[in-house]
Amino acid sequence: MNVETVLEISHLFGGYGKDTVIKDAGLKIQKGEFLGIIGPNGSGKSTLLRLMSRVLPPQQGTIKFQGRDIQRIVLKEFCRHVAFVPQDTLINFPFSVEEVVLMGRIPHLGRLQYETKQDMEIAERCLSLTDTLSIKGKGIDGISAGERQRAIIAKALAQEPILLFLDEPTSHLDIGHEAQIMDLLKRLNRDKSLTIVMVLHDLNLASEYCSRIILLDRGGVFQDGTAEEILTYQNIESVYKTTVIVNKNPLTGKPFVVLVSQEK
């Protein structure tokens, strides 16, 4: 059985101006993967995600989406297949939540074309999936950070992507909505074969939800594998420079990381 490579990066260097953060990275992402990117602050997690999603241009190397260099794909076409949820989203106009979610349909519309009934139905479904249907009439600038994050995820889902990038999508969410969003993403990954690439700070969330984890250190891939292969106390202590205990979650059997305080 052939496995489709959705995204492939080769000898990738990238950063900001003359500052190089990602250094000679190589990676293949297969269709239907749920990939988590972890690593300490400054390791290049968000930078790598921005490079792969075309937010940043590479300094060197190639990034290919379905075999095509992403820099050579028309942006509107790229956005019909790939969606990106940033860590923080600033919207300077008082759009309603529903209007923001409908913006996810723009790549599918012709020039000056209005949304169709089908576009409205897709937006409504995405609002419902992310528990934002009840606030669809509220201004995006008048809701909480957690509600806004769920609205931005709904907008990304409205693009109907085959590849979804998310940069710490649960950072503004309470524990209930954190579980809801992660469960939703896992369900879309399983049932719709949606390929997901996500930056996470929470190692235990990465362990529970991701089929594959990449551990970054100083701009390069330190380890690449399953949660069991990556989340060992040796790897974590080597990269994060802190003492941990790694147990097994009694319900799922996945690695569970416990921080050990150095204070007596």
pLDDT for residue 20 is more than 60: yes
> Does the domain spanning 5-226 belong to CATH 3.60.150.10?
no
pLDDT for residue 50 is more than 70: yes
Per domain, the residue ranges of the chain are 5-226
227-259 residue pLDDT tens: 999 999 999 999 999 999 999 999 999 999 998
Supply the mean pLDDT for the chain: 93
pLDDT for residue 210 is more than 90: yes
Inter-residue contact 166 to 153 (CB < 8 Å): yes
Instruction: Give 172's pLDDT tier (boundaries 50, 70, 90).
Output: confident
110-127 residue pLDDT tens: 887 888 999 999 999 999
Instruction: Give 1's pLDDT tier (boundaries 50, 70, 90).
Output: low
Please report the pLDDT score of residue 28 as a whole number.
96
Per-residue pLDDT, averaged over 33-39, amounts to 97
75-103 residue pLDDT tens: 999 999 999 999 877 777 889 999 999 99
pTM of the model: 0.93
Please report the pLDDT score of residue 2 as a whole number.
64
